[in-house]
Structure formats: structure tokens, C-alpha cells
Structure 1
Amino acid sequence: MQIATIKAYHVAQPFVDGPYRMSKGRVADAFDAVIVSITSDDGITGWGEMAPLGNFYSAAFPAGARAGVMEIAPHLIGHDPRGLAGIGRLMDIVFKGHPYIKSALDMACWDLAARAADVPLVTMLGGKESDTAELYKVVTHGSVDAMAALAQRIVQDGFHRLQVKVGGNVRDDIERVTAVAASVPKDTVIFCDANAGWTHYQARQFADATRSIDYTFEQPCTTIEENMSVRRMLDKPMVLDESVTSLEDMLEIHRRGAADGLTLKISRLGGVGRTRLIRDVAVDLGFMITVEDTGGAEIDTAAMAHLSLSTPQERRLHAIAFHEWVTVRTASNKPPVTGSRMGVPDGPGLGIDVVPDLLGKPFFEVGR
């Protein structure tokens, strides 16, 4: 089996609930996705997707993803897409760094390989540990009253896990989180996510003032050292997200005891293969794990679901259903969500039946 054709599509995915707001005035109106199809010489097609959250969230941006895919894709023609480790090494040889560009190509190869084997992707990732994963919902940055009201609506919809965005003015965020915690049942799981928006001084102020609230602190500062400064005085669990960009980062976090849990984002790590590797080592080292991504619709959410459900249940924190965030559809089916839980689609590979007509015309195509 050899790769015969690669196509790439550019799909804007506006948010259902309007602009997505984080600290420091960072706002995005949509996921700006690159969707890739890889077709073998015997007619099997795999799909991949990645979507940076604006230009501000991580070291990735939409135009860079589109340009990079056009550079890498021609080098993959003629190679066996089932040779997943070799495909990864080849992409690193022909294009140094920029793992986010490689993510959709890697995902498409995993999807194709699983379809060729006629098994769900979750089987290739270690096997399904449970049928569904618990979902969380995000309380985006806003006024005290707006955040408390949104948290109440989310809980009324049957969700039990909230990620509350902080990282702005410390005193204001103390008031925001206090109001959110007071507005929901006491058994609601709360994560306070600063998205690396604070200095360690500010994060320590926030942690000290909110000791009476039950929450997990997520990525308060940028560097591992800054987060360690907060960790030393913290009486709550800590999860790191933006700090995890490689296997080496994860091992450094473990060596220093800098976190209890990790959020692994597929595109930040370079695709399904590297996410699985880091996930498996992190599980063996005792971390709690969330697997998600920077954004996307049905394809990317399916990959997140397969990785989440192949993570041991006792080490899994939660998941997120990005396909429910956006107003557009890219497939005739989607990862199944029932109440506050998500499963994987039926069928081989990702299980997603992409409809090319929904994607528009490819902006790039290469083949033999």
C-alpha cells in the first residue's frame, strides 16, 4: 500500500455561542481548520484535522498550517501510510519543527491505517477502556454575573465539570471564581484555567485568596519554573497544559513534581502518534490525563475521543466535544454525545464519514 493522493481543505468553523474569550483580551470568533485527506493506491482514504485557536493561543497559526502542509505533503507520496513511525520521522526530516503542521497529516495516516485493518482507531491506540468519557464545559472570561449565569446554565444542562477561565486582573478573577463556585452545586468539579496568563506573583495571590474553594489549578504561568513557584505553596491539584509540548517537557514536569495532571493537545504534540506515546509514558508515571486539541469539528473530536477512551479510566480526567462548539458540519455523522458523556463513532478508523462537498474545493492537491 502506498500514498497516492493528498488533498487539503481550508474550513472556517464559527462558534455557536459567539466569540470565545480568554484573559488579556484574547478573542477568537471561529476555529480556522485545515482538513487533510490521504488516499492510498487501493482507494482507502484517511482524514485528519487541526485548527489553531486564533494566532494567540499556541505556537501555531492557520496560515502557517496551510503553507506547511503544502511543503510536507509531496514528500509523503509513494510511502506506506501504515508505516506510522516512519511517516513521522520522514516529516521531521523534510520539515524541521512546527509539529502542529504535521498533526493533520499524521492523523490521516492513523485513520487510513486503522481503516485498512478494519478496526476502530481506539483498538490501535491500546483498546477501549470504557464506552464513554465525561465531558467538561468552559465558562469563558467575562463579567462576574455573566460567568456565574453561564455556569448555572451548564449545570442545569446536566454537566458536572467546569473549566473556568481566569488569568486576568487577579482581584476580579477572585470575585469571578467565588461567584461561580457559589452558583453551582458543591459537588461540581471546577478547574481554574489561566492559560499561562499570570506571573507567579499574581498566581500566588489568586491561590492564597481562594483557598476555601475546591478547584484544580490549570496552567497559571508560562514556564515550568514559574508554575513550580506556585506549586510549592499550593494546597490544590495542579494540571499543566501549555507547558507540555514534547516528551522531554513531560519528563521534566515529572522530574520536578510540577503537576498532578497533564492536558495533551494533539496538534501541539505533532499528531496522534506522539500524543499516544506521551500519554502512555505519562500514565505509567502516574499523571492524570486529559487528551484534547486546540480546536476542530467532527474529525478532530473523533481523534480526541479515541485517544481519551484508550486512556485508562482511573487516569482519565475528562474530555471535550469541540464539534458541538461550531456551526458547520464536515461529516454525515459525529462522535456520539449523550448527556454529559461522549463515545467514539462506530466503524473502522476514526469512524467519521466525511462529506467532501461540505468542505469546499481543496486549496491544495498532490498525487502521482
Structure 2
Amino acid sequence: MQIKSIKAYHVVQPFVDGPYRMSKGRQADAFDAVIVAIIADSGLTGWGEMAPLGNFYSAAFPAGARAGVPEIAPHLIGHDPRGLASIGRLMDTVFKGHPYIKSALDMACWDLAARAAGVPLVTMLGGRESDMAETYRVVTHGTLDQMAALAKRIIAEGCRRLQVKVGGNVHDDIERVTTVASAVPKGTVIFCDANAGWTPYQARQFADATRGIDYTFEQPCTTIEENMSVRRMLDKPMVLDESVTSLEEMLEIHRLGAADGLTLKISRLGGVTRTRQIRDVAVDLGFMITVEDTGGAEIDTAAMAHLSLSTPQERRLHAIAFHEWVTVRTAFNAPPVTGSHMGIPDGPGLGIDVDPSLLGKPFFEIG
């Protein structure tokens, strides 16, 4: 089997609930996605997607993805998409760095390889460990009343896991988290995610003032060393997200004992291949794992779901259903969400049925 042609689409995906707000005034109104179709000479098509959260969240930006895919795609024509390691090395050879640009192409090759084998992607990723993954929902930055109302609404809709955005003014965030924790039932799982918005001094202030609240601290500071300095005085679990950019960084986090859990973003790591590699090593090293991405709709959510459900259940933290965040559809047979749990769609590969008519005209095509 050989890659016959490649198409790339640009799809803006506005958020259902309006702007997504983080610390330091950062916000986005939509995911700005690049969707890739890789067509083999067998007639099968594999799909991939990546979508940065604005220009501020990861070392990725939408215009960069749209410019980079046409630079890499011509080199893939004629190669076997099932040679996933070989495809990855080829992309790294012809285009140095910028893993986010390669993510959708890598994902599409995995989808195509699994479709060719007639098996769901979860099988190729190690096998299904459970039928459903528990999901979390995000309480974004806002006023005390807004955040409490949103947390109550999420709980009323059946979710029991909240990620509360912090990382702004420390004293305001202490009030925010205290208010949210008081507004939800006892036993609600809470993660306080600063998105690397604090100095160690500020993070320690927050941690000291909120000792009475049961939560997991997520990425308070920017560097691994800064987070480690906070962890030394912390009496709560810590998860790192933005710090996990490569296998080498993950191993450094383990060497220092800087975290109990990791959040792996597919596009930040460069695709399904490297996410699976880092996930498997991290599981063996004893980390708790969340697999997600910087954004996207049905295609990317399906990849996240397959990676989540092939993660051992005892090492899995939770998942997120990004396709429910946005107002546009890109595919049928989306990952099923029941209450606070998400599964994978039936069928080979990602299991979804992408409708090209929903994507508009390709901005790039080669074959």
C-alpha cells in the first residue's frame, strides 16, 4: 500500500459556550483546525486533525500548521503509511522541529493503517483496557458567581470531575477555588490548573492558603525545576502538562520526582506515534496519565479516546470530549459520550465517518 494523495482543510470551530479564558487574560473564541486526509492507492482514506488553542497555549499556531503541511506532504507520496516509524523519521528528516505540524499527518497514517488492517485503532495501540473513560469538564476563569454557576451546571449534567482554571491573581484565585469547591458536592474531583501562570512564590502562596480543599495541582509554573520547588512543600498530588514536550522531558520529570501524573497532548508531542511511546514508558514508570490534545473536533477526539482507552485503567486519570465544545461538525459517528464517560466509535481505524462536504474546499492538495 502506498500514499497516493494528500488533502488539507482549514476549519474554524467556534466554542459552544463562548470565549475560553485562562490566566493572564489569555482567551480564544474557537479552535483553528487543520484536518488532513491521506488517500492510499487501495482507495482507503485516513484522517488526522490538529488545532492549537490560540497562539498562546503551546509552541504552535494555526498559520504555522497551514504553512507547514504543504512543505512535508509531498515527501510522503509513494510511501507506505503503515510504516509508521519510517514515516516519522522521514518527516523529521525533511522538516526539522515543529512537531505540531506533523501531528495530523501522523494521525492520518495511524487511521489508515488500522483501517487497512480492519481493526479499531485502540487495538494497534495496545488493546482496549475498558469500555469507557471518565471525562472532566473545565471551569474557565470568570467572576465568583460565574464560576460557581458553571460548576453547578456541569455537576447537574452528570459530570463529577472539574478542572478549575487558576494562575491569575493569587488571592482572587484562592477565592475562586474556595467558592467552586463550596458549590459542588463533596467528593467532586477537582484539578486546579494554572497553565504555568505562576512563579513558585505565587504557587506556594496558593497551595498554603488552600490546604483545606481536596484537589490536584496542575502545572503551576513554567519549568520543571520551578514546579519541583513547589512540589517539595506540597501535600497534594501534582500533574504536569506544558512541561511534557518530549520523551527526554518526561524522563527528567521522573528522575526528579516532579509529578505524580502527566497530561500528554498529541499535537505537542508530534502525533500518535510519540504520544503512544511516551505514554507506554510513563505507565511503566508509575505515572498517572491523561491523553488529550490542544483542541479539535470529532477526528482529534476520536484519537484521544483510542489512546485513553488503551491506557491501563489503573493508570488513567481522565479524558475530555472536545467535539462537544464546538458548534461545527466534521464527521458522523463521533466518540459516544454517556453522562460523564466517553467511549470510542465502532469501526476500523478511528471509527468515525468524516464528511468532506462539511470541511469546505481543501487549501492544499497533492497526488
Aligned positions, number: 367
Task: Classify the secondary structure of the residue corresponding to 1:43.
Answer: coil
Q: Work out the CA distance in 2 between the residues paired with 1:92 and 1:281.
A: 21
5+ residue gaps, structure 1, are: none
Aligned to 2:362: 362
Aligned to 2:319: 319
Aligned to 2:192: 192
Aligned to 1:292: 292
Aligned to 1:57: 57
Aligned to 2:26: 26
Question: One-letter code of the match for 1:103?
Answer: S
Residue 40 of structure 1: CA displacement?
0.5
Query: For 1:142-157, what aligned pairs fall within 5 Å after superposition?
Result: 142-157=142-157
Aligned to 1:89: 89
Question: One-letter code of the match for 1:18?
Answer: G
5+ residue gaps, structure 2, are: none
Aligned to 1:16: 16
Task: Classify the secondary structure of the residue corresponding to 1:88.
Answer: helix
Residue 49 of structure 1: CA displacement?
0.1
Q: Work out the CA distance in 2 between the residues paired with 1:339 and 1:143.
A: 27
Task: Classify the secondary structure of the residue corresponding to 2:197.
Answer: coil
Question: One-letter code of the match for 2:261?
Answer: G
Is 1:264 matched up with 2:264? Answer: yes
Is 1:46 matched up with 2:56? Answer: no
Residue 247 of structure 1: CA displacement?
0.2
Q: Work out the CA distance in 1 between the residues paired with 2:138 and 2:115.
A: 33
Question: One-letter code of the match for 1:350?
Answer: L
Residue 21 of structure 1: CA displacement?
0.3
Is 1:279 matched up with 2:279? Answer: yes
Question: One-letter code of the match for 1:76?
Answer: L
**Deviation by residue 1:16-71 (Cα, 9 ceiling, x = unmatched):** 00000001000100000000000001111000000000000010000000100010
Q: Work out the CA distance in 2 between the residues paired with 1:190 and 1:338.
A: 20
Residue 332 of structure 1: CA displacement?
1.8
Q: Work out the CA distance in 2 between the residues paired with 1:320 and 1:104.
A: 19
Query: For 1:1-368, what aligned pairs fall within 5 Å after superposition?
Result: 1-367=1-367
Residue 145 of structure 1: CA displacement?
1.2
- What's the TM-score, normalizing by structure 2? 1.00
**Deviation by residue 1:103-162 (Cα, 9 ceiling, x = unmatched):** 000000000000000000000000000000000000000111111111111111111000
Q: Work out the CA distance in 1 between the residues paired with 2:251 and 2:152.
A: 38
**Deviation by residue 1:306-353 (Cα, 9 ceiling, x = unmatched):** 000000000000000000000000012200001110000000000010
Q: Work out the CA distance in 2 between the residues paired with 1:261 and 1:186.
A: 23
The alignment yields a C-alpha RMSD, in angstroms, of: 0.4
Question: One-letter code of the match for 1:3?
Answer: I
Q: Work out the CA distance in 1 between the residues paired with 2:131 and 2:279.
A: 19
Task: Classify the secondary structure of the residue corresponding to 2:173.
Answer: helix
Question: One-letter code of the match for 2:356?
Answer: P
Residue 197 of structure 1: CA displacement?
0.4
Task: Classify the secondary structure of the residue corresponding to 1:138.
Answer: strand
Task: Classify the secondary structure of the residue corresponding to 1:24.
Answer: helix
Q: Tell me the percent identity.
A: 88
Residue 212 of structure 1: CA displacement?
0.4
Residue 11 of structure 1: CA displacement?
0.1
Q: Work out the CA distance in 1 between the residues paired with 2:284 and 2:332.
A: 37
Task: Classify the secondary structure of the residue corresponding to 1:35.
Answer: strand
Q: Work out the CA distance in 1 between the residues paired with 2:224 and 2:199.
A: 12
Question: One-letter code of the match for 2:85?
Answer: A
Question: One-letter code of the match for 1:47?
Answer: W
Question: One-letter code of the match for 2:4?
Answer: A
Q: Work out the CA distance in 2 between the residues paired with 1:181 and 1:339.
A: 21
Task: Classify the secondary structure of the residue corresponding to 1:130.
Answer: coil
Task: Classify the secondary structure of the residue corresponding to 1:236.
Answer: coil
Q: Work out the CA distance in 2 between the residues paired with 1:113 and 1:142.
A: 44
